[in-house]
Structure 1
Amino acid sequence: MGTLWFWIVALMLAAYIVLDGFDLGVGAIYLFVARNESERVQTLRSIGPVWDGNEVWLLAAGGTLFFAFPLLYASAFSGFYLPLMMVLWLLILRGISVELRGHSDDPLWRTFFDGLFSFSSILLIVFFGAALGNVVRGVPIGPDDYFFLPLWTNWRTGPNPGILDWYTILGSILALAALSLHGALYLALKTEGHLERRALYFSRRIWIASVALTAIGIPATVFARPASLDNYRGHPIAFLVPLAVIACVITMRLTMAIKSRLPSFLASCGYLLAMLVGAATGLFPVLLPAVGTRGRDLTVARAIAGPHTLRVGLAWWSIGVCLALLYFGIVYWLFRGKVPTDAEGYGH
Structure 2
Amino acid sequence: MELTTIWFILIAVLWIGYFTLEGFDFGVGMLLPVLARDDTERRVMINTIGPVWDGNEVWLLVAGGATFAAFPEWYATLFSGFYLPLLLILVALIVRGVAFEYRAKRDDDQWRRRWDAAIIVGSLLPSVLWGVAFANILRGVPIDSDLEYVGGFFNLLNPYALLGGAMTLLLFLTHGALFIALKTDGEIRHRARALALPVGAAAAVAAVLFLGWTQLETGSVASAVAFAGAAAALLAGLAVATQGREGWAFLGTFVAIGLGVAGLFLALFPDVMPTTLTSGTSLTTTNAAATAYTLRIMTVVAVIFTPLVLAYQGWTYWVFRKRIAVHHIPAAVGAER
TM-score range normalised by the length of the shorter chain: over 0.9
Q: TM-score, normalised by structure 2?
A: 0.94
Q: CA deviation at 1:265?
A: 0.4
The one of 150, 169, 172 aligned to 1:176? 169
CA–CA separation in structure 2 for the residues paired with 1:183 and 1:114: 16
The one-letter code of the counterpart of 1:186 is F
The alpha-carbon distance between structure 1 residues 345 and 219, as it changes in their structure 2 partners (threshold 3 A), is farther
Give 2:307's match in structure 1, choosing from 322, 326, 346: 322
Q: 1:23 deviation in Å?
A: 0.2
Structure 2 counterparts to residues 276-315 of structure 1, below 5 A: 276-315=261-300
Superposed counterparts of 1:27-106, under 5 Å: 27-106=29-108
1:19 is matched with 21
Hey, what's the Cα distance between the residues in 1 that align with 2:319 and 2:262? 30
Which residue pairs with 2:335 in the alignment? none
1:151 positional shift? 2.3
8 Å CA contact 1:140, 1:294 repeated in 2: no
Instruction: Work out the CA distance in 1 between the residues paired with 2:235 and 2:242.
Output: 12
Aligned length: 329
Structure 1 residue corresponding to 2:186, chosen from 181, 187, 193: 193
- Report the secondary structure of 1:287's partner residue: strand
From 238, 258, 276, the equivalent of 1:273 is: 258
Q: Secondary structure at the match of 1:41?
A: helix
Distance 2:150 2:309 in 1: 35
The answer to whether the 8 Å contact 1:185/1:199 transfers is: yes
SS of the counterpart of 2:104?
helix
Number of the residue aligned with 1:120: 122
Partner of 1:338: 323
C-alpha RMSD over aligned residues: 1.6
**Alignment CA distance shift 1:78-1:130 (3 Å):** same
Contact 2:215 / 2:267 at 8 angstroms: preserved in 1? no
TM-score normalised according to structure 1 size: 0.91
Q: CA deviation at 1:243?
A: 2.3
Q: What is the Cα deviation at residue 79 of structure 1?
A: 1.3
Distance 2:302 2:84 in 1: 29
Deviation at 1:340, TM superposition (A): 4.5
Runs of 4+ aligned residues of structure 1 deviating over 3 Å after TM superposition are: 343-346
Deviations 1:92-143 (A, max 9, x none): 1111111110011111111111111111211111111111111111110012
Q: Distance in 1 between matches of 2:282 and 2:124?
A: 31
Q: Deviations over 1:69-105 (max 9, x none)?
A: 1111111111112222111111111111111100111
What is the CA–CA distance in structure 2 between the aligned matches of 1:265 and 1:222, rounded to whole Å?
26
Residues of 2 paired with 1:284 and 1:86: CA distance? 27
Q: State the Cα distance separating 1:222 from its structure 2 match.
A: 4.4
**SS of 2:272 mapped into structure 1:** strand
Q: Kindly tell me: are residues 314 and 98 of structure 1, through their superposed partners in 2, closer, same or farther at Cα, counting changes over 3 Å?
A: same
Q: Given that residues 122 and 176 in structure 1 are in contact (C-alpha distance below 8 angstroms), is that contact kept between their aligned partners in structure 2?
A: yes
By how many angstroms is 1:211 displaced? 1.2
Q: Which moved more, 1:186-195 or 1:321-330?
A: 321-330
Cα distance in 2 for partners of 1:42, 1:195 equals 9
Q: Which residue of 2 aligns with 1:249?
A: 234
Contact 1:80 1:148 in 2 (8 A): no
Identical-pair percentage: 35
Unmatched 5+ residue regions in structure 2? 333-337
Deviation at 1:42, TM superposition (A): 0.1
8 Å contact from structure 1 (residues 23, 183) kept in 2: yes
| Aligned equivalent of 1:260 | 245
Change (3 A) 1:82 1:116: same
